[in-house]
Amino acid sequence: MRHWIRALLLGGLALATTGCMEGWLDKWLAASVDPQTGTLHVEGLAAPVTIGRDALGIPLVEAESFEDLAFATGWVMAEDRLSQMVGFTMAAQGRLAEMAGEVALPMDLYSRTLGLRRISEQQLAAGSDELTFLLQRFSDGVNAWLVAHEDRMPLDFRLGSFRPEPWAPINSVDVFTMINLGLGVNLHEEIMALNLADRVGTDRLPWLVPVYPDEPLSFAEAAKLNDLPLPALAKQAQALDAARDGFERLLMPQGLAASNNWVVAPSHSTTGHSLLANDTHLLISQPPMWMLLHQKTPGIQVAGVAAAGMPVPVIGFNGNVAWGATMVMADAQDLFLEQLRDIDGQLHYLADGEWLPVTEREEVFKVQGGDTVTHTVRSTRHGPLLESVLNAPPISPVVPPRLADSMARYGLAFSWTASQADTTMDAMFALGRSQSLAEAREHIRGVRFIHLNMVMADQDAAGWQVTGRYPQRKQGTGQFPSPGWDGVYDWTGFADFDQHPNDFTLEKGFVGTANHRTVAADYPLLLSRSWFYPQRGDRINQLLSAKAKHSAEDMVAMQADRFDRFVPALQAVLSDNSVALATAINALPSARQAPARQALAMLDNFDGVMLEDSAAAALYGVFFHLAARNIFLDELGPEDGPVWQSFTRMTLLSYSAPQDHLLQREDSPFWDNAGTPETETKWDIFAQTLADAWAFNTQALGDDPAQWAWGDLHTYEWKTAASQMKPWLPRVQRWAISAMEGYLNRGPYPAGGNHNTLNVAGAMIGRDFDVHSIPAMRMVVDFAADEPLQLVNSGGQSGNPASPHYDDGIDVWLGWGNRTLPFSEAGRAAHYAQRLTLTPSEAPAATP
């Protein structure tokens, strides 16, 4: 779970003085780890349920009815990920401060201003009675586990005063809402645009937010921001970004470009049956975002990837149909600039020439160990005014400063397609019961709440479908904030589902997605202007086009692929401009010329494979990092300032200016270093960066280039939320968390790959080399195999650090092990060797 801030203080202070903290903690928490064999009597079941566990603790839940299956799944998820479940729902409700104290208050205000719980309520109300019943049975199972473990809670709840409340169907919908928020991308770019426009002006803003290599820069879109009070708006944007950043560190990544998937048609498979592969990309965390789940009743068997708090897999395989998902990068969020005025003590906003009163609601926040705080959330016709977040009282170091009243002439209103209720949860749950691709396609039409590239297959056919709800705008693209007072940029409705891109003919024999632009630039439906880098998508097409027939082993090899297609493109740029670059190198101080030439020679000969032990990969990675700094830091710095922090964060989320400039943009104004009297060209900056990269590696990795290794700079580290938040906390709390990090965190481990490789290992370009985004799971389905499903998670099944399954999945993930989850009766019996039986009881739930 991602919230242990105040709770860990007491434990850290008490245990840091001992020399055997980890062993003591394991003994103290031993009772919180349930036995995996035997029999338990549990009130609420109609018939016995069997919970099998494999060597990594992955559960198989077998029940005689769907009702009991949902109940037992609730029990299992509470056992494995209670803290994570509670964190999701408390974040959606805006109640993290009740658990973590004042440090979480700005994140609560962010959540309530966005109205996350209200969105969950709408979704639950729109769902079917069957959905509500399923969620209620799941809730009953969670609550049965809570009763049985009242005195044996996990570490999070032992150290703090907060106790989890009974689970209810709305809490599961909260998890779904949080996933939707995590898949939203454009809000963050619009915030960054205000920061950048204030710093460099609207005329140079488009150079910093390119759409794609083959698309023109967005000068017309940026002109919307002309003649606006950019300094005031930038201060609002910076304060908003601070609140969002804290929210993300506590719980949920937002806007992180997520995933690869592809399907191969039977005609292009070596076996004559379909192949499907999916690896979702999320922030590296402890515990991981996903948990694995296998369920079986007499009528249903399904296994796959589940989110803690939702009763069925959201990605997986059911014996007949497989499905996987990536993030579309949809622009389903818009910021509208509102003109505000105080009239007779009431805040108003300008709408088509008329001043209208904002709508208001009071939100009350309870803070652990502190006072109750009341705050007013205001909204316009375009949605909530984010000034509700910005004007929060300054309680803790991560709370943004209160904005002066003079800055309130303009506000930022947030429009989001999630505010429209629908039956997406029903459709997603029905998808897992599909018996054919045709049936799955019908179910997927109902998925409007969440924007996904869904790939689906049965043994005889496969295809791709874009889901979601896409706003139709009167004018503009929505890439940057829009004036809201005259209605010119308002939404007029949403695109019909039949306009969504799809491919079920598979004329090429395959289709794949990787958060890249999957349609032509002039496609009539505007999906986004915030695509991820094209290299992963290009690599999928390259590898699947390389031969006529593919096997499951090819799918696994593709998921492990660490070739960066940007390398040959960069080498072509270096070669095509060799004369200009040589002239620039010759102009360097004499001591820097030889290192620059050595660096150039190593890059020229680099094969592009980002292996962790590669010296050339280390040089290339450092060159990329320093190029971003040499091109942009002089005008966007300082490096610890909000503008640079926002700019570098966005390099992890979508196609970025650093990569765009390396490949093209010779006429960009940012090549000239603002800190020197000379006028630098692109090749001057290239020459400087080559010399700088060689010097950096020599200092960081040693004088012998043969010993350089990318993985010595670029590392994986599984961290809890407490560690993520540590820099923002008071000194004593930082010390306490540091004392426990060896028990809670795992790593560092050397990492290969980068943001462009299929085996992604994304870092914030220009900031550091720390890996943030990884394949959070890997799935391959081979419909011709006796056991079609291979599935691996990025960490342990359990969120309890005392469990042996807290971290045992990490080594499997690092070693590229592939694990089959068997569907046959004999295979299940052998694989899920540990068996626990839950039997009905009229007595109170038994203690394990």
CA angle, 783 then 784 then 785, to 5°? 95
Contact 697, 599 (CB under 8 A): no
**Per the annotation, does 522 bind a ligand?**
no
Query: Parallel, antiparallel, or unpaired: how do β-strands 290-296 and 59-62 relate?
Result: parallel
| Inter-axis angle of helices 105-114 and 66-93, nearest 10 | 110
Dist CA 357 CA 350 (whole Å): 9
Sign of CA dihedral 171, 103, 246, 13: negative
The residue type found at 501 is P
The candidate with the shortest Cα–Cα distance to 304, out of 774, 784, 773, 793, is 793
The candidate with the shortest Cα–Cα distance to 783, out of 550, 489, 624, 546, is 550
Dist CA 410 CA 413 (whole Å): 10
Cis check for the bond before 253: say yes or no (omega within 30 of 0): no
Dist CA 450 CA 429 (whole Å): 14
Question: In the chain, how many H helices and how many E strands?
Answer: 29, 30
Contact 306, 293 (CB under 8 A): yes
Dist CA 113 CA 791 (whole Å): 38
Residue 196: partners with Cβ closer than 8 Å, 6 or more residues away: 205, 208, 209, 636, 643, 646, 647
Q: Which of 259, 269, 723, 798 is catalytic?
A: 259
Question: Which tokens in the block code for residue 356?
Answer: 């209208």
If you search the block for the tokens 């390099």, which residue do you land on? 651
- φ, ψ for residue 77, nearest 5 deg: -65, -40
User: Cβ–Cβ contacts within 10 Å for residue 814, how many?
Assistant: 14
The candidate with the shortest Cα–Cα distance to 315, out of 407, 422, 447, is 447
User: Cβ–Cβ contacts within 10 Å for residue 277, how many?
Assistant: 28
CA-CA distances (angstroms) from residue 704 to 592, 622, 688? 17, 16, 21
Q: What is the DSSP letter of 397?
A: T
- φ, ψ for residue 722, nearest 5 deg: -60, -40
Coil vs helix vs strand at 324: strand
Contact 357, 348 (CB under 8 A): yes
**Per the annotation, does 190 bind a ligand?**
yes
Dist CA 69 CA 54 (whole Å): 18
**Per the annotation, does 189 bind a ligand?**
no
Q: What is the DSSP letter of 183?
A: T
| Inter-axis angle of helices 186-200 and 230-250, nearest 10 | 140
- φ, ψ for residue 9, nearest 5 deg: -60, -50
User: Cβ–Cβ contacts within 10 Å for residue 826, how many?
Assistant: 8
Coil vs helix vs strand at 338: strand
259 catalytic residue (yes or no): yes
Question: Which tokens in the block code for residue 366?
Answer: 């309870």
The candidate with the shortest Cα–Cα distance to 454, out of 587, 286, 276, is 276
The alpha-helical segments, DSSP class H, found in 651-681 are 657-663
Question: Which tokens in the block code for residue 259?
Answer: 């995933």
Coil vs helix vs strand at 200: helix
Binding-site annotation, residues for Ca(2+): 190, 331, 334
Catalytic sites, residue numbers: 259
